[in-house]
């Protein structure tokens, strides 16, 4: 049952090409979870997230400096290597400088018929932003209509919102099952489930999720009991890391990752204007460090991002956290010291892991073991 999600992640390129052959539809690659996929889906397009392959590559070093994060460089490398040759377009919602560089270089150097950049401002004044973003989405919609030759109606948008929100609701249900002790699904398995939703037609994925939700309470091999951990960070989709941590006897029960809960956490609020509804959803979504700029006070616990993380830690009764970030990811890494303090105040130990293109399994395993041993000592 769970293998199908993992297999889809491994065979994502094949899935997209088969989908394209079957439906005759367009496939749109996107970078970063601030891209409002629903608009494309409403036009009969399959949005697929571009991710790195966690393999060493040298293609991108011609265009990107060595101190850009491995994820952004690898994503470009994937494009340059031709693995995404089937894409009809690429898009990004304004995000960090490094992913923006990936987008710009992709447009210049990877032959892709359509490209679009959506200026999504920082979330400083959330309410005034929503109508502006809705207008931007209308422009985006117009270009997609040109790409496909089809008009996207209000009903199309509403249907897309419904399919996406169903997916989000079902993923939240899976996360609810992780509140059990021990959880009914491991952190690595959950990441496969969430990741697969980024490459799969959401309507099909919803069926898979419903089956999974029925299956999990009676699965024969639930995760064994262990310390309950959280993973906080950015563009991490390497399930090897999570498997490695969980193999040491821990359970990762929740995350704040853009490849995890941040991707789907909040639903679309009702609004008679579907684009306004979508805009509201993206403005109100749990912030990534780039967008987390709304706090005028001096108390870090009041940062919108941290408030959300604290709530997750409490709701899921976590006992410790891994704070992970891609090497050279400044927005993430500059949050680490204050985030560590926040966890200290919650009496929750933390372990910081810097990620590179490939995972150094030996040292990471040693650190995970040491962290878990330290947690046991603290409990004693």
Partner 1 sequence: MTYQTEPIKHFEIAKGLRELHYQRVMTAREQGKLLVTGGANMLWELMEGLGEYEALEGEPYGATVAHYPELAAVTAEATDSSGYGRDVCAYIRSYWGSMFLNRSPWGEFPKPDFAAHFYTSHCGGQEKWYRVLSEHLDVPYFVMDYPTLKPRNGVITAKQVERYVPYLASQFNDFIEWAEKLTGRKYDDEKLIQAIVNKRRCQMLWGQICELQETVPAPLNARQMFNLIIPRVHWATRKEGVDFHETLLEEVQDRVARGIASLPEEKGRFIHDFVPPYVAMDILRHLEAYGAALVTSMYVFNWGYGIRDDRTWGPVESFGDLGHPPRNREEALNHMAFWEILREPWLNMFSPELKTGYYVDMVERYKCDGVIFHINRGEVGGVLGLLDSRYALKQKGIPCLVYEASASDKRDVDIVKVVDGIDAFMESLGMKKLA
Give me the residues that bind partner 1 (CB under 8 A), please.
62-68, 94, 96-98, 100-101, 104-105, 107-109, 117, 119, 121-125, 128-129, 132, 135-136, 139, 289-290, 293, 295-300, 327-331, 333-338, 340, 354
Q: Min. distance of Cβ 104 from partner 1 in angstroms?
A: 5
The DSSP string of 102-137 is HHHHHHHHS--SEEEEE----SSSHHHHHHHHHHHH
Residue 228: strand pairing partners: 251
Q: How far is the CB of 311 from partner 1 (least distance, A)?
A: 20
CA 306, CA 286: separation in Å to the nearest integer? 10
Are 2 and 216 spatial neighbours (Cβ–Cβ below 8 Å)? no
Minimum distance between the CB of residue 33 and partner 1, rounded to whole angstroms?
Answer: 17
Strands 89-93 and 27-31: parallel
Residue 226 or 286: the one with the smaller Cβ distance to partner 1 is 286
Nearer to partner 1, 182 or 300 (CB): 300
Q: Give me the residues paired with residue 255 across strands.
A: 231
Nearer to partner 1, 22 or 296 (CB): 296
- Least spacing, CB of residue 154 vs partner 1, in Å: 20
Q: How many CA atoms lie within 13 A of 117 on its CB side?
A: 15
- CA separation (Å) from 200 to 17, 58, 110, 158, 310? 11, 29, 23, 19, 31
Q: CB-wise, 156 or 335, nearer to partner 1? A: 335
Smallest separation, CB 265 to partner 1 (Å): 22
Q: How far is the CB of 271 from partner 1 (least distance, A)?
A: 19
Its sign, for the CA torsion 196, 315, 280, 98, is negative
Pick 125 or 361: Cβ nearer partner 1: 125
Using the structure block, give the residue that is written with the tokens 């700029």.
293
Q: Which of 341, 365 has the CB closer to partner 1? A: 341
């Amino acid at each position: 049952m769970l293998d199908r999600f993992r297999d889809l992640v491994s065979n994502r390129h094949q899935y997209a090409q088969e989908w394209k052959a079957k439906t005759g539809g367009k496939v749109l690659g996107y970078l970063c979870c601030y891209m409002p996929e629903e608009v494309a889906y409403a036009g009969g397009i399959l949005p697929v997230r571009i991710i790195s392959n966690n393999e060493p590559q040298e293609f991108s070093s011609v265009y990107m400096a060595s101190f850009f994060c491995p994820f952004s460089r690898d994503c470009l490398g994937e494009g340059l290597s031709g693995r995404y040759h089937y894409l009809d377009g690429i898009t990004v919602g304004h995000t960090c400088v490094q992913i923006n560089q990936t987008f710009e270089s992709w447009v210049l150097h990877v032959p892709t018929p359509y490209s679009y950049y959506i200026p999504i401002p920082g979330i400083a004044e959330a309410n005034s932003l929503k109508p502006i973003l809705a207008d931007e989405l209308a422009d985006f919609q117009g270009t997609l209509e040109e790409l496909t030759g089809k008009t996207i109606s209000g009903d199309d948008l509403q249907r897309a919102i419904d399919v996406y929100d169903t997916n989000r609701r079902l993923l939240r249900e899976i996360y609810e099952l992780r509140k059990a002790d021990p959880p009914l699904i491991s952190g690595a398995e959950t990441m496969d489930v969430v990741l697969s939703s980024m490459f799969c037609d959401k309507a099909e994925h919803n069926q898979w999720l419903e089956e999974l939700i029925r299956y999990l309470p009676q699965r024969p091999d639930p995760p064994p009991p262990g310390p309950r951990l959280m993973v906080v960070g950015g563009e991490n989709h390497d399930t090897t890391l999570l498997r490695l941590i969980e193999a040491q006897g821990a359970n990762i029960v929740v995350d704040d990752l853009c490849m995890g809960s941040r991707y789907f956490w909040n639903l679309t609020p009702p609004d008679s204007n579907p684009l306004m509804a979508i805009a509201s959803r993206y403005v109100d979504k749990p912030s990534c460090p780039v967008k987390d700029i709304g706090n005028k006070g001096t108390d870090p616990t009041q940062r919108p991002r941290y408030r959300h993380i604290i709530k997750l830690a409490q709701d899921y009764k976590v006992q410790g956290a891994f704070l992970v970030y891609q090497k050279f990811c400044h927005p993430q890494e500059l949050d680490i010291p204050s985030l560590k303090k926040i966890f200290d105040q919650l009496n929750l130990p933390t372990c910081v892991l810097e990620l590179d293109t490939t995972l150094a399994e030996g040292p990471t395993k040693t650190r995970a073991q040491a962290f878990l041993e330290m947690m046991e000592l603290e409990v004693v």
